[in-house]
Chain A
Amino acid sequence: MTALASRLLRAAHHAASLTSVRLALFGLVALVACWRPLEQAGGMNDFRDAHLLHSYEDAGTRTVTRYGQLPLWNPWSCGGQYALGSPQTRVSAPTLALSALVGARRAEPLVLWAFLVLGMEGFFRYARRRVGSTLGALLAAPLFGLTSFTALAWSIGWLNFAGFLLMPWLLWGARRAAEGAVSGVAVVAAVFALLLGFGGTYPVPMGALFVALETGRTLYGLRGAKRRVEALWALAATALVTLGACAYRLWPLVETMRSSPRVMAGTPGNSFPALMEMLLQLPARSGFSDRGNFFFAPVALALVLVALALGRRRALFPAIVAGLCVWMAAGYDASPSLFEGLRALPIFETFRYPERFLVPAGLFLSELAALGLAVLLARSGRKPREAWAAALACGLALAGWGVEWRAFDHLTRWTQLVPAPTEHEQPFAQARGNRWEQGHFLALNRGSIACGEAWPVPMSDKLRGDLPQEEYLEDPTAGTARRVEWTPNRVTVDVDATRPATLLVNQNWHPGWKTSVGDVHSKDGLLAVRVPEGRHQVVLRFVPRSGAGGALVSALSWAGLAIVAWRMKRGARLLTGPRATGIAALPLVAGVLVAQAWHEPVATPRFDNPDGSPLLAPELPPNAVPVGARFDVPVELVAAQLPPGPDAEGLAHLVLYWRVTGPVPRSVGIFVHVMAPDGGRVSADHSVVGGTWFLGDAPRGALLRDAFSVALPRPIHGEWKVLVGLWHEGGDQSRVTARGANGEEIPDSRVPAGSFSIPPRGWVDESSGQP
């Protein structure tokens, strides 16, 4: 019996070491998990985020299949946006080819299937090197691969979050790269490039974080200073090759985010019991809840315990990192908050869901499970009497697969599936649109101006959804404009101008637009061309410098890497040290040269209040009343501009003028108390000025025009006073001491900013002839 078990074990080990057998197994596991999504292929996910994100893929697919163009400009979303510069689009990933082949909706479950297979294979490779057991790594792979967050992401249309599944490839590649393997460099560069192209807004920065930890772990494990120095050079070269490989997407993204910075406020947090519910409780079969969103099969925890008890030093790293992930996932509920510290770093400042760190927590728990299996399998080899423990462990792992599949299946049931929209063939035009149902507008060949992105897309407020023609002259008496050809990246218009005129296109301007006649510019954010008098055929082309330059840098990086791999195959020695790093930097130097040689206008950020008015004021308007209050942080309330009363709908539109002269803690926010004549109070607190800057991030010395409105509950006749101050909103909620112009403390630290009144018979005095 023991001999049979031993033979079976050897055969299983051997089979697990065959890539094809593993892929067949992972393919089967993934197929079972994806059965329901595959059944729903072609239908439309009616969740609002799915509408937004799928529309991007749909737009990219239409651009390729109907117009034969690369998906650079997306005219169907938000009045037109740079597809490569939009962080959540997937159109620059190779998966677009599948969308083009079978249709964007039918491709999605196939992409999910492929990512599940890739995720399990990546985990296997990573864990096998870390735990030293082929069978252990194989059995633990589906515990990570079936992580339920992927199913949740699927059900609400966030397919780009499947990118988390490629994280083990990054860790595996980073280790191989540190060991001097070109394949490791290629894997790290390829996976980061793929994730960026796939819209991995979280997987990319989180992947970078864990790659940094993995390289530290690898460097620590190396013996001797010489090997460590070599590894550091290899990692530096890897970083440069990766930057180059990602440039096709990174350059457009950086450029876009610089012109449209995103502010993320708030102090999100999760209690420990809530995190345990997310991690260990089976998700419900229907409805949305946090429970089980990051499910890790509790039965597999027994293997984790085995690893902790018997794995000794090998269990240390994954156990510590899993603990750090849970700490991070607690967000601001933990004290001290690791997440708060992470948010102080660039890029990570936009993270808003700390619980997503439970995905890498699941990865490291799976590594521990693999280690537990490895330890027991090794012991059974040495002591056949302990074979039962190994058999039990394998049984637990298989039970874990079953439980995780169940959780996966439950979450995929949450999809709000509706029939795909019916196609209407008509010329393209902008519609007012509706971001909640955006998917329908592409089928109508209409762009949706209504836009619900997670970042402030540069948009013109002059876009319209009721125009008789999309290309027109600003001054209709100056001549005529007639569309000749329309494609996403190229628009041709015949213009007959009796005098110099401006051609307007009902799309957003971007510096990447070029014209064959006249000069292209932004007219209140609209795409505009100044054309001379006469008859012209104006051809507008979208050729962005960052897209072309980034693609060149990426191509050079890949070509360089291919040459190195080819030379090594022919017996050449591997380039190492500073020379390798220098060569890896060459494509980036080429990118800098392109940036210098190719001049393109810069899109400058617009800083507006939520009511669309400018956030920066050159000077105080005459009707602003000086206040001159200072606080015990370097902030001055310069003036206030209050209306005589609310408008006819009971809305009071208030403006405060602030000046920040030094560093202000991020916890400091503004409170506004609008005091009713009867003693009641309406609050208009806000910690982000104009929805754009924390006080600490505002430009120093500039006059900030903070415009906001208050809905008054009832038209109570009399004088309404406005009291303003600062408080530690994100801290102990204490008020910041306010002082008047003479330096004296203001009672309650509430600065009187003025007042307005309501007449006896309603919001406005109807008897008055004044508006």
Chain B
Amino acid sequence: MTMTTTRARWRRVALAGWLVFAGLGAVALARATTAHVPQPSRRLSDAERVELGQVAARAEPAWRERNRRAFPGDHWSQDDDFGAYERQWVLGEAARRGVPVTDVFGAIDAELHSAPVSPPRKATASPCKPRPFYD
């Protein structure tokens, strides 16, 4: 086998390598763009939206009281704890009704925007002040 033949063969191998690499990239792209995660089929009706917003509003004062006791004097942590309570409730409602989580958060937002909120409810959030300790 001559040197030229060997070189030509390796050149073909190199070309095949690029083609395979491009093909693998294409497979990754195709898989990423065609993957499908099923959505809940039902959406909240307008009436349910209003109802859910009001239920969340009624629950808020009790959550706030627990947050204040869990994190006395630490406003950001209180609000963050409130967020955790609200999240649990929203996920539960969305699962129970078989609707998107976004719809439930949308219902809460619509209720908040329907009229100015007054204490003990809050339409604000304390500025972010991460705790210095994590261990």
Residues of A within 8 A of B (CB): 14-15, 18-24, 27-28, 30-31, 34-35, 38-44, 78, 102, 106-107, 109-110, 113, 262-269, 352, 417-422, 424, 429, 431-437, 440-441, 443-444, 446, 449-468, 525, 608-612, 649-651, 653, 687-688, 691, 707-711
B17 touches A21 (CB 8 A): yes
- 10 A-B pairs with CB atoms under 8 Å apart are A19-B14, A268-B134, A420-B39, A432-B109, A444-B105, A451-B125, A456-B129, A459-B127, A612-B126, A688-B133
Residue of B25, B105, B106 contacting most chain A CB atoms (<10 Å)? B105
A611 touches B128 (CB 8 A): no
Residue of B24, B40, B68 contacting most chain A CB atoms (<10 Å)? B24
Q: What is the CA–CA distance of A623 and B126 in the complex, to the nearest angstrom?
A: 27
* Chain B residues within an 8 Å CB radius of A453: 128, 130
Task: For B80, give its contact among A437, A452, A460, A707 (CB under 8 Å).
Answer: A452
CB-defined interface of B74-92 with A at 8 Å, one 1/0 digit per residue? Answer: 1111011001101100100
B135 touches A266 (CB 8 A): yes
Q: How distant is B67 from chain A, measured CB to nearest CB, in Å?
A: 11
Q: What is the CA–CA distance of A263 and B130 in the complex, to the nearest angstrom?
A: 9
Q: How distant is A172 from chain B, measured CB to nearest CB, in Å?
A: 20
Task: For A449, give its contact among B32, B77, B101, B124 (CB under 8 Å).
Answer: B124
* Chain B residues within an 8 Å CB radius of A44: 37
Q: How distant is B36 from chain A, measured CB to nearest CB, in Å?
A: 7
Task: For A436, give its contact among B21, B87, B117 (CB under 8 Å).
Answer: B87
A424-B102, A432-B124, A649-B69 given. 15 additional CB < 8 A pairs? A18-B17, A20-B17, A22-B17, A43-B37, A262-B130, A266-B135, A422-B103, A432-B112, A434-B105, A444-B105, A449-B125, A456-B128, A457-B127, A608-B127, A609-B73
Q: Kindly report which residue of chain A lies nearest to residue B68, judged by CB atoms.
A: A649
- A450 with B69, Cβ < 8 A, contacts A40-B35, A466-B112 known: no
Q: What is the CA–CA distance of A20 and B19 in the complex, to the nearest angstrom?
A: 8
The total number of A-B Cβ pairs within 8 Å is 239
* Chain B residues within an 8 Å CB radius of A610: 73-77, 129
Does residue B116 face the partner (Cβ distance < 8 Å to A)?
yes
Q: Kindly report which residue of chain B lies nearest to residue A467, judged by CB atoms.
A: B113
Does residue B3 face the partner (Cβ distance < 8 Å to A)?
no
A24 touches B21 (CB 8 A): yes
- A24 with B116, Cβ < 8 A, contacts A452-B128, A463-B125 known: no
Q: How distant is A426 from chain B, measured CB to nearest CB, in Å?
A: 9
Does residue B59 face the partner (Cβ distance < 8 Å to A)?
no
B interface residues, how many (CB within 8 angstroms): 67
* Chain A residues within an 8 Å CB radius of B129: 456, 608, 610, 691
Q: What is the CA–CA distance of A47 and B77 in the complex, to the nearest angstrom?
A: 19
Does residue B33 face the partner (Cβ distance < 8 Å to A)?
yes
Residues of B within 8 A of A (CB): 10, 13-18, 20-21, 24-25, 27-29, 31-33, 35-40, 43, 65, 68-69, 72-77, 79-80, 83-84, 86-87, 90, 100-103, 105-106, 108-109, 112-113, 115-117, 122-135
* Chain B residues within an 8 Å CB radius of A460: 127
Residue of A434, A436, A456, A691 contacting most chain B CB atoms (<10 Å)? A434
* Chain A residues within an 8 Å CB radius of B127: 451, 456-461, 525, 608, 612
B20 touches A422 (CB 8 A): no
- A432 with B130, Cβ < 8 A, contacts A41-B32, A444-B102, A466-B112 known: no
Q: What is the CA–CA distance of A540 and B37 in the complex, to the nearest angstrom?
A: 40
* Chain B residues within an 8 Å CB radius of A452: 80, 83, 128, 130
Q: How distant is A120 from chain B, measured CB to nearest CB, in Å?
A: 12
Residue of A22, A422, A443 contacting most chain B CB atoms (<10 Å)? A422
- A466 with B72, Cβ < 8 A, contacts A436-B84, A452-B128 known: no
Q: What is the CA–CA distance of A454 and B38 in the complex, to the nearest angstrom?
A: 32
* Chain A residues within an 8 Å CB radius of B68: 649, 651
Which 5 A/B pairs are nearest by Cβ-Cβ distance? A709-B73, A20-B17, A466-B123, A709-B72, A459-B127
Q: What is the CA–CA distance of A441 and B128 in the complex, to the nearest angstrom?
A: 18
Q: How distant is B63 from chain A, measured CB to nearest CB, in Å?
A: 12
